[in-house]
Amino acid sequence: MANNTQMLKGLLEGCILNIIDKNETYGYEICEKLIEFGFEGISEGSVYPILIRLEKKKLVYSLMKKSPLGPMRKYYYLTEEGSYELKQFILSWNEMKKNVDSILGERNDVIRD
């Protein structure tokens, strides 16, 4: 597909908001969780610009805190606007997923390279 990167960027924003909503967390830990959930190609270089963008949009805020293992860490938290945006993302995702599943049906004949 032509622009998987743009599609992935929007999906990652929603996924990152959900990760932050569950617990206070920092950038590297967010990367680790994304990899744990199957986003193997995700790097910190992809995640940190998203965190900056989410902070500029006032969907998250951050606080510097002591780390038990060394230097201070920037921990992220959802704002009220971020909680609302997460709910909207989930609604939109569920609708889009339903529509795509409806078009694709129960296809099991996926072409693999």
The CATH number covering residue 53 comes to: 1.10.10.10
pTM attached to this predicted model:
0.84
pLDDT band at 1 (very low <50, low <70, confident <90, very high): very low
Could you tell me if residue 104 is inside a domain? no
Cα 50 from Cα 20, distance rounded (Å): 13
Residue 46 reports pLDDT greater than 70:
yes
Could you tell me if residue 105 is inside a domain? no
CA-based nearest residue to 19, from 9, 5, 8, 34: 34
Domain residues for 44?
4-98
Half-sphere exposure of 28 (CA within 13 A, CB side): 4
Arithmetic mean of pLDDT over the chain: 88
Could you tell me if residue 103 is inside a domain? no
Could you tell me if residue 106 is inside a domain? no
Please count the structural domains in the chain.
Answer: 1
Could you tell me if residue 113 is inside a domain? no
Half-sphere exposure of 94 (CA within 13 A, CB side): 6
Distances in Å between the Cα of 38 and the Cα atoms of 34, 68, 102 are 7, 27, 24
